[in-house]
């Protein structure tokens, strides 16, 4: 297997202790392995993009970072604290320091946009309603939503507006770490770039670290300080690393590994034949 590209230096000054440490993490669901021996360090202020085809474990890895999925083996450490050693109450407290932008925004349909954004403020702070209203107004402006959006329900907004409302909610508690799960899926090219620009703005908040799971190469190239690419375990030998690439966007574009080139260039190659073979094997 071609050598993994070396990780670049990031633009922000790195603290001595990484914001996140993924230490030999493996995840299995029953007999199905999804992640195998993943180790990473994510320094404060970095934007890490996780690439990979569907089914390679990207979202599962993202969920392990906030303790929604517990590793079968290994550990996640946030600011030096082991998530695996925390009880549910402590883990819930730590999660207030994470912002999570869900793939489909995951807004509460029965609440207005203002109430969606203010939900974590009401749950986790003692701010009065006037203070909450000021924060909501500021966040709406930050993500480019008009004041009128505050009174609307999610169903009344476009997909791009819902994504931005979801980002505003993720920022409500001013978290030092923001996780994005496919933030541009289903958006047109212009709105995709709007979301990319917002990710860059969030990164420029003091000390904010970002982890972005995406299939979108334009997003990866635009927002990443560092990129890793995961590969499905069933396509790897037992001794091969599941991280088949680690490096800068420029290094990704220059990488000659045929697996990387197929993904970056969006070529099916022999994959259609493989999918047909899998279907035949699964047929009774």
161-176 pLDDT tens trace: 999 999 999 999 999 9
- Residue 270's pLDDT is 63
pTM, full prediction: 0.86
Are the CB atoms for 159 and 187 separated by under 8 Å? Answer: yes
Which of 2-11, 218-227, 230-239 is predicted least confidently?
2-11
Within 13 Å, how many C-alpha atoms sit on residue 65's CB side?
32
- Provide the CA 121 distance to its chain's centre, in angstroms: 22
Look over the chain and give the mean of its residue pLDDT values, rounded to a whole number.
88
Distance between CA atoms of 22 and 190, rounded to whole angstroms? 34
The pLDDT of residue 269 = 66
Question: 240: which DSSP letter?
Answer: S
| pLDDT at residue 172, as a whole number | 94
Residues in the chain: 284
Percent of the chain with pLDDT over 90: 73
pLDDT at 197 over 80: yes
> How many CB atoms neighbour CB 176 within 10 A?
18
Structure tokens at 17: 């202790």
Residue 102 predicted with pLDDT over 70: yes
Q: What is the pLDDT of residue 14?
A: 46
Which tens digits make up the pLDDT trace of 139-169?
Answer: 999 999 999 999 999 999 998 999 999 999 9
Nearest to 164 by CA among 100, 105, 99, 103: 105
CA–CA separation, 267 and 132 (whole Å):
48
**Nearest to residue 203, comparing CAs of 78, 20, 45, 14?**
45
pLDDT in tens, 11-60: 444 446 899 999 999 999 999 999 999 999 999 999 999 999 888 999 99
All structural domains of the chain, each given as residue ranges with its CATH number in brackets, are 1-97+177-284 (3.40.50.300), 109-174 (no CATH)
Identify the pLDDT of residue 284. 57
- Return the pLDDT at 276: 59
pLDDT of 193 above 80: yes
79 within 8 A of 73, measured Cβ to Cβ: no
Residue 224 or residue 203, greater confidence: 224
> pLDDT per residue over 270-282, tens digit each?
666 665 555 555 5
- Give the span between the Cα atoms of 231 and 218, in whole angstroms: 20
Tell me the mean pLDDT in the region 207-220.
Answer: 92
């Amino acid at each position: 297997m071609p050598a993994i590209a070396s990780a670049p230096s990031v633009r922000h000054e790195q603290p001595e202790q990484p914001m996140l440490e993924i230490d030999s993490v493996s995840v299995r669901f029953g007999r199905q392995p999804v992640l195998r021996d993943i180790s990473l360090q994510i320094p404060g202020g970095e934007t890490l993009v996780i690439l990979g085809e569907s089914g390679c474990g990207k979202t599962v890895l993202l969920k392990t970072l906030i303790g929604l999925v517990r590793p079968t083996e290994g550990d996640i450490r946030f600011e030096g604290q082991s998530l695996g050693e925390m009880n549910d109450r402590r883990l819930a407290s730590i999660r207030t320091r994470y912002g999570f932008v869900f793939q489909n925004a995951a807004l509460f349909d029965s609440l207005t946009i203002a109430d969606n954004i203010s939900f974590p403020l009401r749950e986790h702070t003692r701010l009065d309603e006037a203070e909450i209203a000021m924060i909501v107004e500021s966040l709406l402006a930050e993500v480019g939503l008009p004041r009128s959006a505050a009174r609307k329900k999610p169903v009344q907004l476009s997909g791009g507006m819902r994504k931005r409302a979801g980002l505003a909610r993720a920022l409500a508690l001013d978290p030092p770490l923001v996780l994005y799960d496919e933030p541009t899926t289903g958006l047109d090219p212009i709105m995709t770039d709007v979301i990319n620009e917002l990710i860059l703005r969030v990164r420029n908040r003091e000390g904010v670290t970002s982890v972005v799971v995406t299939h979108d190469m334009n997003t990866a190239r635009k927002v990443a300080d560092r990129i890793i690419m995961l590969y499905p375990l069933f396509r790897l030998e037992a001794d091969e690393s599941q991280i088949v690439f680690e490096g800068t966007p420029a290094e990704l574009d220059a990488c000659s590994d045929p697996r990387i080139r197929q993904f970056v260039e969006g070529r099916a190659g022999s994959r259609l034949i493989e999918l047909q073979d899998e279907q035949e094997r699964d047929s009774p």
